[in-house]
Each structure stands twice: as C-alpha cells, then as structure tokens.
Homo-oligomer: A and B are copies of this chain.
Amino acid sequence: MKVVTLGEIMLRLAPEGYLRFTQADKFTATYGGGEANVAISLANYGADACFITKLPDNDIGQAAINSLRKFGVDTSHIVRGGKRVGIYYLEKGASQRASKVIYDRAGSSISEAKAEEFDWDSIFANADWFHFTGITPAISDACAELTKAACEQAKKRGVSVSCDLNYRKKLWSREKAKNVMSELMQYVDVCIANEEDAKDVFGIEAEKTDITGGKLHKDGYKSVALQLAKQFGFKKVAITLRTSISASENNWAAMLYNGEYLFSKEYNIKIVDRVGGGDSFGGGLIYGLLSGMDDGAALEFAVAASCLKHSIEGDYNLVSVDEVKKLAEGDGSGRVQR
C-alpha cells in the first residue's frame, strides 16, 4: 500500500502546557501540516507513505524532514531550496478559552515550488493513492498549479485521489477558493469535509445546524454530502462531525456517503491536543479503504483513529492499527495495558 501526499509542512511553535503566548519563554517545536499528518498516520499503519513538498536547504528544513523520517515516511522526493519553513504558533486553550493559531507561512519554500522540480515518475511508482487538502492550492498560485499537476500525474497513472476541503480564510477568499477548488475536484474520488468547509468553499449549506451550539443534525449532513457528490461526482464523501462543548471536551463522529448514508459511533473526548484531528480522520479513512475494509468499517476505523489523535500531543497521530481497532471495536475504557 503506497500513498503519496503533497503539501506544506510547518514548524509548530506552542507554549508549554496551557500558557498563553505572552507567558511563554519556551516553545515546544514540532512539525506538521495537513498532508504531512496524513502521511504520518499511514506510515504508522505500516503503509508506504511518501510526502512531497519543498523545504529550504537549512537546518530547520532538515529538522522538518527528520520529523517525518523518524516515523518512517519516505522523504526522498522532497525538494530542497527556497527561503523558509512556514510557521504556525499554537496556544492551547482550556475550558471556555479557545485555542489560538497565528500563521506565519507567507514566503515558505513550497509557496514558490513548481511541478517540474519534482520527479513524478518515481513519486508515483507503485502508488495506490494520492491525497491533498484545500490548504495547498490556497498557499499561492504556484501551489495551485502544482496541486493540479500532481492530480494529473496521479490520475493518468490510475491512482485514486482524495481531498480534504479544509478551507483557510487567512489564505484566500471564498471566491478564489471556489474557482480553484472546483477545477481540482474533477480529479477527486473521495472528498472529506466538515460542514463549514462545504459552505465556505462551495457555498453548499446544510439546514438548521448551529456549529457553536453543539447540536448535530443528521439530515443537514446528509444534504451536504449529497450535494457535494452530485456536483462533483465523488465516489465517496466523508463528513466529520465535531461538537465543541469546550476547548477541553468535544464530541466526535463522522458520516460517510457512498450512495447510502453511514453514521459512525460518537465519542466524547477529553482533549489533549485537537490539532490534526481532521487529518488523522483522513489518514484512517484512506488506510481503511485501501486495506480492504468495507466502507462502514473504514469509517469506524477513521473515527476511532481521529478520536485517539485528540489524546496525543502534536499534529501527528501516533497510533497503531491494533490500537485503533481496539477502540473501534468498543474498548474505550482506558484500562492500563500491561
């Protein structure tokens, strides 16, 4: 099983514990980004995960690569050059105080990368799947072109393509997002989104949902999934369903539309680190589908995987197939494993 992902990997700088930015005199330094996170998930499940990006030829770029190599991601196709590693600052919230993200990613190496810098034949040799998110084409026009090129390279080799819509309002307008993403959707087999993404990117809305109010309306989600599938011809549409009770506690579930509407179990989560939660869903779903699970099992695997992610520090979901399956099969009691 070989999966290729393309995107930006950033340095994540987070104050220790629950300190606010203005209290911090240390930052925990990890690395992450939507597509890198998916690659890590897959490498931890034993898949061949190949992450492609561009990183500067300095020690910070190297440290980002090392963070991927450490968990077995293939980094041999990462291009070196350009100016800087993008950064995001993360302040962890608690109770009623929300987590806060400050992006400092303009001018990163990937933002100026071009398709011809990558060796597509090697990258997609034996590949089964290609994954990207709506963040990558939002970074720059060059990145939008690069993403399209990657999609074309994947498609022409018969590689399945998935996309997590992931709208980032700081990176582009809804109008631009709609234009660029609509064109990319022609390559996509499996679309992952949350309700806000569908609205922000494509203007597709569910009825009667109040995201901050903590109530989920199944009919609304069905409607969104159906509209997405119809409009772009996706084989499957997965929608993650987060109910934010507070910064410390969320409920978490998902829906998969494949002609039918499958709803997963819902988990009540005490949060350690919720960043990367959506990405770990994507990683789990790809693994589930590629490893031959039926759609319902793949959905439960993906939701259990991303539930566990919320208990793990950093962007990366560091769990094994066995751990995910144990939870998906119903043991969330947290009893000590000796």
What's the interface size class on A, roughly? 35 or more
| 9 A/B residue pairs, CB under 8 Å, sorted by A | A59-B91, A96-B269, A96-B327, A96-B334, A97-B319, A98-B333, A99-B336, A169-B338, A245-B333
0/1 per residue, A239-251, Cβ < 8 Å to B? 0000011111100
Query: Contacts A107-B106, A275-B336 known; A311 to B95 CB distance under 8 Å?
Result: yes
**What is the chain B residue whose CB lies nearest that of A73?**
B69
Q: Does A23 contact B (CB under 8 A)?
A: yes
Contact yes or no, B334 A247, CB < 8 A:
yes
0/1 per residue, A97-134, Cβ < 8 Å to B? 11111111011000000000000000000000000000
Q: Does A323 contact B (CB under 8 A)?
A: yes
Give Cα A26 to B15, complex, Å.
10
| A residues lining the B interface (CB < 8 Å) | 13, 17-30, 58-60, 62-63, 66-67, 69-72, 83-85, 87, 89, 91, 93-104, 106-107, 168-170, 211-214, 244-249, 267, 269-272, 274-275, 304, 307-308, 310-314, 318-319, 323, 327, 330-338
Which of the residues B23, B271, B337, B338 comes within 8 Å of A318, measured between beta carbons? B23
Contact yes or no, A98 B334, CB < 8 A:
yes
Contact yes or no, A214 B333, CB < 8 A:
yes
Query: Contacts A23-B313, A270-B249 known; A336 to B29 CB distance under 8 Å?
Result: no
Known interface pairs A17-B313, A20-B318; 8 further A-B residue pairs with C-beta atoms within 8 A, sorted by A's residue number = A22-B62, A22-B318, A24-B29, A27-B29, A66-B70, A95-B272, A98-B336, A246-B270
